[in-house]
Amino acid sequence: MAKNGNNGKGVLANPTRLEPMDTDDKQVIQVIIETPKGSRNKYAFDPEQKIFQLKKVLPAGMAFPYDFGFVPSTLADDGDPIDVLVLMDEPAFPGCLLKCRLIGVIEGEQRDKKNKIRNDRIIAIEQANHSFAEIKALDDLGEQFCCELQEFFVNYHRLEGKEYRVLARRGPGEARKLIKAAMK
């Protein structure tokens, strides 16, 4: 018998292999939440062990402003699935599958002492939410709101000794192109 008691199949199915788009509506993306809104804990799915693992703890006073996860069956320039920040009424939980509509992307680049890579952040809205139901594009959120989202990513990377530079904010069409280009 396998050491985890489930015939060697792992603890969870591998959510990184799910379809990136909803099978009923190709305008809707699927997002797996890794870190819920309001959490100081940063979680990430470990596909080898098939479990969500604590990766780091943010300092006191800093927390994820919204749910953070990934689009399954995609591969971004940083070697991980495409990142998504999901706006919705209440926090989800690690491993939760959300059906979301795209509103845009914060295009960015991250640097450490040796390397520079693109690290874009898709922004999406969960279909069933109420608070953001009327938002169709990133710019509909307002300049201050968008600047605060960007600043979160800048500060988040600074904690790791990396520089994150925002290159541009783009609409839902560009976000969709990024996802399609990253589909495995």
Mean of the per-residue pLDDT values of the chain: 92
Structural domain contains residue 4: no
Assess if residue 3 is contained within a domain: no
When pLDDT is cut at 50, 70 and 90, the band that residue 11 belongs to is low
Does residue 1 form part of some domain?
A: no
Q: What is the CATH number of the domain that holds 115?
A: 3.90.80.10
Number of structural domains the chain divides into = 1
Residues 50, 42 contacting (CB under 8 angstroms) = no
Question: Residue 6: inside a domain, yes or no?
Answer: no
In a domain, residue 10? The reply is: no
Of 106, 102, 90, 91, which is closest to residue 149 (Cα–Cα)?
A: 106
User: Residue 1 pLDDT > 60, yes or no?
Assistant: no
Q: How far apart are CA 132 and CA 86, in angstroms?
A: 10
Give the structural domain span for 136.
Answer: 15-182
Asked whether residue 5 is assigned to any structural domain, the reply reads no
For residue 32, being part of any structural domain is answered with yes
pLDDT of residue 42: 97
Residue 8 belongs to some domain of the structure: no
In 3D space, the residue among 58, 104, 54 whose CA is nearest the CA of residue 84 turns out to be 104
Please write the tens of the pLDDT for every residue from 90-113.
Answer: 999 999 999 999 999 999 999 988
Q: Is the pLDDT of residue 67 over 80?
A: yes
CA 44 to CA 54: how far, in whole Å? 7
* Per-position DSSP letters for the chain, written without gaps between them: --TTSSTTS-SS--GGGS-SB-SS-TTEEEEEEEE-TT-SEEEEEETTTTEEEEEEEPPTT---SSEEEE-TTB--TTSSPPEEEEE-SS---TT-EEEEEEEEEEEEEEE-SS-EEE--EEEEEETT-STTTT--SGGGG-HHHHHHHHHHHHHHHHTTT-EEEEEEEE-HHHHHHHHHHHB-
Q: How confident is the model at residue 8 (pLDDT cuts 50, 70, 90)?
A: low
Q: What is the pLDDT of residues 31-58, one digit of tens each?
A: 999 999 999 999 999 988 999 999 999 9
pLDDT digits (tens, 9 = 90+) for 135-183: 999 999 999 999 999 999 999 999 888 999 999 999 999 999 999 999 9
Q: Which residue has the tokens 């509909």?
A: 140
| pLDDT-derived band at 23, boundaries 50, 70, 90 | confident
What is the per-residue pLDDT for 25?
Answer: 87
